[in-house]
Amino acid sequence: MATETAAAVAATPPSVNVPEAANPSMINKANYVGANFIDQERQFIEVQLNMDHTEELHLTPYVIEADENNLDFQDLMKLTTMDELHEMTWNTKKAESEAFIETAKAVMMESGLLEAETSLSKTKMFPTLVETIFTNMENEDHLFALKLALFELQDIRESDNVEQKTALRKAQNKIDILQHAFNIMGVKGNPETDVPATTDPVANAKALDKAEATMAAELKMPAHQRPATVAKRTAATVAKKNPPKKGKK
């Protein structure tokens, strides 16, 4: 009797602990809407799923690991490709960046800063441009914004130089990013967008000579007496005497 009972139990299929492979896929053609990477290292993906079967679209974020051994990732790759995934990531970041810019513009407009900024001539923006390029060389926010701006250039967007475009996207500092952009575009004029110079070439040459002479004179000074060094030291002293209040950065 005991033997028959044991045999019957052994023959009964389990009702719990269903193996994962037997579970229905979380990501499938019926609920998949889109996906994008959510980290710089491209290790994790947020998948947008429509989990409600109603007339309205209700998206549910579902984060998975970008690992070929991950069953969810395998299911995702049946519905899209890595190229499409990178493109969707780019579009998502672009939309977020544009939203941030619009918010910043609204704040600047309310404070009057936007009007002051737009009143400056383009030539007066170059000091800011140079400082932006040669500082925070590996800041991820700066790198993303620079890459995004470069990919908006028609010559780069329409270039068939896939190798350089990929290298530009993966570059880890501003100099490499710009170098790849120059390799794609080269140096050429664009009659549709270029504007003629309005400054006096002779006056420009004199100003550059003066700037070069000033730099040469500064190099002859002891390092601790050079204007740039003094300015940095003064700024550091002021910051030390006026530390930020608690709760403020």
Give the 3-state DSSP-derived string for 141-207, with helices as H, strands as E and coil as C: HHHHHHHHHHHCCHHHHCCCCHHHHHHHHHCCCHHHHHHHHHHHHCCCCCCCCCCCCCCCHHHHHHH
Burial grade of 45 (CB within 10 A; 0-12, 13-18, 19 or more) = buried
**Poorest-confidence range of 69-78, 93-102, 206-215, 236-245?**
236-245
For residue 69, what pLDDT is reported? 93
128 and 176 assigned to the same domain: yes
Are 125 and 184 in the same domain? yes
Are the C-beta atoms of residues 63 and 47 closer than 8 Å to each other? yes
For 231-241, how does the pLDDT look when each residue is reduced to its tens digit (9 = 90+)?
A: 666 666 666 66
**156-201 confidence digits (pLDDT tens):** 888 889 899 999 999 999 999 999 999 998 877 667 677 777 778 8
Q: How far apart are CA 184 and CA 182, in angstroms?
A: 5
Q: List phi, psi (to 5°) of 48.
A: -95, 120
Categorize the per-residue pLDDT at 135 as very low, low, confident or very high, splitting at 50, 70 and 90: confident
pLDDT of residue 222: 85
According to the model, what pLDDT value does residue 2 have? 45
What is the CB-side half-sphere exposure of residue 15 using CA atoms within 13 A?
2
Bridge partners of 61? 48
Map residue 27 onto helix, strand or coil: coil
Looking at the fold, whether 73 and 132 belong to one and the same domain comes out as: no
pLDDT at 212 over 90: no
Number of compact structural domains in the chain: 2
Q: Is residue 77 part of a domain?
A: yes
pLDDT confidence band for 42 (50 / 70 / 90): confident
On whether residue 49 sits in a domain, the answer given is: yes
Q: What per-residue confidence (pLDDT) applies to 5?
A: 47
Same domain, 126 and 182: yes
**Which of the residue ranges 7-11, 123-127, 202-206 would you say has the lowest mean pLDDT?**
7-11
- Residues 184 and 125 both lie in one domain: yes
- The closest of 61, 7, 8, 9 to 31, measured between CA atoms, is 61
The distance of Cα 29 from the centroid of its chain, to the nearest Å, equals: 29
- On whether residue 131 sits in a domain, the answer given is yes
The winner for highest mean pLDDT among 37-51, 83-97, 109-123 is: 37-51
- Domain for residue 163, yes or no? yes
Instruction: Please report whether residue 244 resides in a domain.
Output: no
Q: Is residue 20 part of a domain?
A: no
Is there a contact between 97 and 144 (Cβ–Cβ < 8 Å)?
yes
Is residue 47 predicted with pLDDT exceeding 80? yes
Last residue of a domain, one of 142, 164, 188: 188
Q: Tell whether 66 is covered by a domain.
A: yes
What's the length of the chain?
249
Q: What is the domain extent for residue 31?
A: 27-81
Residue 161: inside a domain: yes
Q: What pLDDT is attached to residue 231?
A: 63
Mean pLDDT calculated for residue range 19-29: 64
Percent of the residues in the chain that have a pLDDT greater than 90, as a whole number: 20
Do the Cβ atoms of 88 and 36 come closer than 8 Å?
yes
Domain finish residue from 166, 188, 210: 188
Domain boundary among 188, 209, 225: 188
